[in-house]
Every structure is written in C-alpha cells, then in structure tokens.
Structure 1
Amino acid sequence: MSKFYAEIARYYDYIFPLSVEKLNLINDLAGNNSKDILDVASGSGLYSKKLSDNGYNVTAIDLDNEMINKLKEKDKKIDAKVLNMLDIEKLNKKFDLIFSIGNSIVHLENNEMIKKFLYSVKNSLNENGKLLIQIVNYDRILEKNIKRLPTIKNNEESLVFERYYEYLEQEHKINFKTILKVNNSTFENNVLLHPITSEEIKGLLKEVGFSSINFYGDFTQSNYEPIDSFPLIIIAKK
C-alpha cells in the first residue's frame, strides 16, 4: 500500500466523519424487518459499526486491507473482508439492503463494469431488497466544468484534504487529484474516475432489472436537480 493510502486509512474517520443524515437514511431503508446488510467499499467502517450496534447483521467489504483492519478493530461482530465490489457474489450471502456511499462505484472503469456490479448486487439481494448508492453528481460536474470539490478541514487534527477535478475529454475520464496535508506533511495522489451521468445509471439499473428507481439530491431525500445538486443519491428496489 502506498504511503498516501496508509495516511488516508489512518485519518479516514477525521476526513469523512459519520453523517447523521446518511445514517438515518440507511436505517430507514433497512427498517425493522431487514436483518442482513452489505456495506460496499466500507472504508474504515463507521456506518457498519453503527448498524451493527443497532442489531443488524453487517457484512462489509473494501479493497484496502488497512481499512478492513480498522473496521475489525471497531467491531469484531462485523463480517469484514478485503474484496473487490465486482466479486460480492463470492460472499454466497443474500442481503436485505446493499449500500455503497462515498463516490465508490465511479472507480470502476466504465459503464460495463458498473453494470456488472449492479448485476452482482441484484443477484445478492433478497426479494424486495434495496440498493442505496451515493456518487458525486456528474451531470453538474460535466455541465459546469467543476474543477474542485470543497476542501475538507479538521482543525483538531491540523488536517486539510484538498480535491481537484480535471475532465479528460478524449478519454471521458476525471483525473481526480487529492492532497492530504497533516502534521506538517503533504501526501498527493491521482486516480481516474468514470463520470457516469444520472441518465446512464438509470438506464443500467433498468437494464439489470431494478424497479422503483428514485434519485435524490441529498440524504434527506430532497429533489434531485441535475445541474445544481452536489451528490446523486440513488435508491432502487429488486
């Protein structure tokens, strides 16, 4: 693991602290009857931990071994595994709710890979199971040629996390540059993202066979505005 990702894992909970709005929506979707939940690209597991505390059977996967280790330290009841999101059927489990927040699915290479992920999700859901996805609103990013996302600061940890976007038109990719400044040290990283639009992901969800597909502009389920909403929140039902 690179030094950058080692530092991200170390400070992840300070960069991305738990959001009450996110947790409330996940709890609402899980409901009283849902017992089995899968957290895809879980990071350090803040949401998995809270859901486990609420009595759900939680499975969590992430590609990063250090993130999974931090999650296991939080709660040994969680079935936490290092696993690619394209391989969730290898878990051989069925879930009532599968969620992926934190702009994770756009790390997949293209729409075909995202469709493959959605098929795996559908095959891993119980009947009437639900899917929750959160990504950056790329309708807005592409239309307005957004160059950076809001800087994250944590004064207690003397931490600054800067995020820059560069649209590569020929490749139809976003060059995502991140700069972590903490304890007088600076760590930089670049990764390519696939900027899928709301219409594209709606088409993929329909093709895979999801029903009751709804888009929202935040975790309180405000109306989704393609040009103005910062995130895109997707809720779909098997």
Structure 2
Amino acid sequence: MSATMQQDFGDQPIERRETDNYRSEYVKSFVDKWDDLIDWDSRARSEGDFFIQVLKDRGARRVLDVAAGTGFHSVQLIEAGFDVVSADGSPEMLAKAFENARRRGHIMRTTQADWRWLNRDIYGRYDAVVCLGNSFTHLFNENDRRKALAEFYSALNHDGVLILDQRNYDAILDHGYSSSHTYYYCGDNVSVAPEHVDEGLARFEYRFPDKSTYHLNMFPLRKAYVRRLMREVGFQNIDTYGDFKETYREHEPDFFIHVADKHYEEAITR
C-alpha cells in the first residue's frame, strides 16, 4: 500500500478482523500525527523510570523493542544506557522512529519484522524483549498470538524478560470505556475512544485537532488470557501491574503491564 493513502476498511469495517490489518492501518498521514497522540514529554513524566528500573533490576543490557512505533521507548532506553534494537511491522513507523531518534542525537538500529517470524529477521539473543503501546492487540488469531510469544521467548537469553502491555479490555468489555489518559495517550485535544466493542473486536477512533479521524481494529485481550498464553509458551514467573502499580482494583487501570521472566526453575522433588 502507498504510504500516502488514507485508511480503507471497506464497506464493513467491523468485519475486518485479521492480523494483517495493521499493514494498512498505519498510513503515513496517521503516523505523522502519532506523536501528537502520545506527547513524548507528558508520557515520559507519567511513566517515570518504571521500565528502566525493571530492566536494571534484572541486569538487562541488550534490549529488543519489537513494537517500536515512532520510537518513544527505544529512545528512552537508549538514553538510559541500554543497547537497543528497534523493530516494527510498519515501515512508516520505523522511518518516523529513526528520524525522531536522529533529531535527539541517536542513530537507531531498526529492522522491519513480523513477530510471527521475528527470529528470521533479527540476529542474536537479547536480555529483554519489550512489546509496548498496546501493540499485541493487533493479533486477531490465537495461533498468531502463540507464535509471536514463542518468537519473543526464543529471542531471549536463558534468563531474559518479556515486558508486554495491553489496554484493560476486561473493564471495557464488562463495564464500558473510560480513560484518564494519564499514562499513555497524553496529547492535548486528541480524542481516543472505542467506536465498537464486542468479544472479538475493539474498533478505536482517533480524532485530532485538525478534524482528521483514523481508526484501529484491535482484538480485546483479557488479562487472564494473556497471562495463560505466556505461561503456555514457557514463561514461568509473570507479574502484572496496573498503570505501573503492583496493587490495584481490576477495573481501575487503563493499562496492564505484564513482566514475564524466562528463567528456568527446577521443580523441587521430595
């Protein structure tokens, strides 16, 4: 698809429930506005050093950012001293990320990669894989989700860690949508809200100050389901934070952050 084309979901947009949708959703005009949605400075203040501290606590040095987007977390990690490789499935996102990093004085190492075949396109093993920005929700097929998690697992060193976040779709599905926009989408005068939600689709609408409107079709992942899939591909210890807090009421956080350790724990025999 041409980078300049507008989004096209066809005549029945809520029927578009395929993993490969993301390839045509992130058109250049949408990507060019993505940083208005995030607001890097506000997001940095709200997140603090949460991800940096999790990685440092585990002695991580080499990090693979598999959902680099426009580069926010990759740049944060580079500036914190980590050795970072940035991957994304969208060439438009990677181009924007590279330019954002360059403007901040960094040469970002980027690679375009589909998570389902991640290890075909990356080299070596990493101390940590980070998959942030609600990106895992782009996978609509359970086999795709399992394959992607297995690829993340394989990309890690034996004592590596996966950090993956997601919207609190449990709250959206069970109680309706609300968001403080405190932590993730911090931009001024930007509206983000679901246009349609059912157990198989969350279609979000993004409205910008210039009246432009874009959509993303995503799968509404439930927290317990994601944790189960992580365990089934081999991750043993999984801690889940709600908006960066260890304790929370299930319906309150906008986002969950899963921190999954790969290290092998031998069963204790008696």
- Normalised to the residue count of structure 1, the TM-score between the two structures is 0.85
What is the correspondence of 1:1-238 to structure 2 with a 5 Å cutoff?
1=3, 2-3=5-6, 5-18=27-40, 19-20=43-44, 21-22=46-47, 24-31=49-56, 33-73=59-99, 74-75=101-102, 77-90=107-120, 91-146=122-177, 149=179, 154-155=187-188, 159-168=189-198, 172-183=199-210, 185-189=211-215, 191-219=216-244, 221-238=245-262
Taking only aligned residues, the RMSD between alpha carbons, in angstroms, comes to 2.3
Residue 234 of structure 1 aligns to a residue whose secondary structure is strand
- Percent identity for Structure 1 against Structure 2: 22
Distance 1:48 1:128, change over 3 A: same
Work out the CA distance in 2 between the residues paired with 1:203 and 1:179. 31
| Residue 117 of structure 1, CA deviation | 1.0
- Normalised to the residue count of structure 2, the TM-score between the two structures is 0.76
Aligned length: 228
Distance 1:212 1:72, change over 3 A: same
Structure 1 unaligned runs (5+)? none
Q: Which has the higher strand share?
A: 1
Residue 223 of structure 1 aligns to a residue whose secondary structure is coil
Distance 1:50 1:188, change over 3 A: closer
Give yes or no for contact 2:128–2:162 (8 Å, CA) kept in 1. yes
Distance 1:154 1:167, change over 3 A: closer
Distance 1:23 1:93, change over 3 A: farther
Q: One-letter code of the match for 2:153?
A: K
Work out the CA distance in 1 between the residues paired with 2:142 and 2:167. 16
Residue 208 of structure 2 aligns to a residue whose secondary structure is strand
| Residue 153 of structure 1, CA deviation | 7.1
Q: One-letter code of the match for 2:242?
A: G
Cα shift readout 1:97-121 (whole Å, capped 9, x = no counterpart): 1111111101101332211111111
Residue 3 of structure 1 aligns to a residue whose secondary structure is coil
